[in-house]
Amino acid sequence: MQIDYQDETNEVTEEQLELVDRLLKFAAQYEKLEGNYELSITFTTDEEIQVINREYRGIDRPTDVISFALEEEGEGEIAFERMEEMPILLGDLIISLDTMRRQAVEYNHEEKRELGFLALHGFLHLLGYDHMTEEDEKEMFRRQDEILQAFGLTR
């Protein structure tokens, strides 16, 4: 799995990038993804993610992570066969480092745990998990906790 990173803050450390990279590749194996997948992750500020949140979700406040899935097949759409060498584009994740840091303090755990949680949460959204209903939320958070535990990134 190829992950392209963009750091709009110039504050992300190599250790943080390595953690996210290892965690998401672990999660891809855990979810039994087969094939050549690609996604992008942008690290940004509260100010920038608020603009995106307002523009795309109609919510005028910062948030922690936003996911934009690219490989959703809606009703009436045709799934084309892919060439094996072409990557399957999962989508884009945008993570606010400001909110990540604030939530790490609020939830009383390390920043690396919060960063891993947010990256995994967004990644699971790209794979089709959601929390629009209580049942879906339980399933998504159960899977999230299961992967974080198996990876060793606990509170």
Decide if 39 contacts 1 (C-beta within 8 A).
yes
Mean predicted lDDT score pLDDT of the chain? 91
pLDDT tens figures, 27-72 = 999 999 988 999 999 999 999 999 999 999 999 999 999 999 986 5
Handedness of CA 140, 65, 50, 42 (dihedral sign): negative
Domain boundaries, the chain: 2-151
pLDDT tens figures, 103-121 = 999 999 999 999 999 999 9
Which residues of the chain form beta strands (DSSP E)?
Answer: 2-7, 37-44, 65-69, 88-96
Task: Say if residue 65 is exposed, middle or buried (CB neighbours under 10 Å; 0-12, 13-18, 19+).
Answer: buried
109 is in an annotated binding site: no
Query: Does residue 133 have a pLDDT over 90?
Result: yes
Q: Whole-angstrom Cα distance, residue 103 to residue 151?
A: 21
Chain center to CA of 12: 16
Task: Say if residue 73 is exposed, middle or buried (CB neighbours under 10 Å; 0-12, 13-18, 19+).
Answer: exposed
Topology, domain 2-151: Collagenase (Catalytic Domain) (3.40.390)
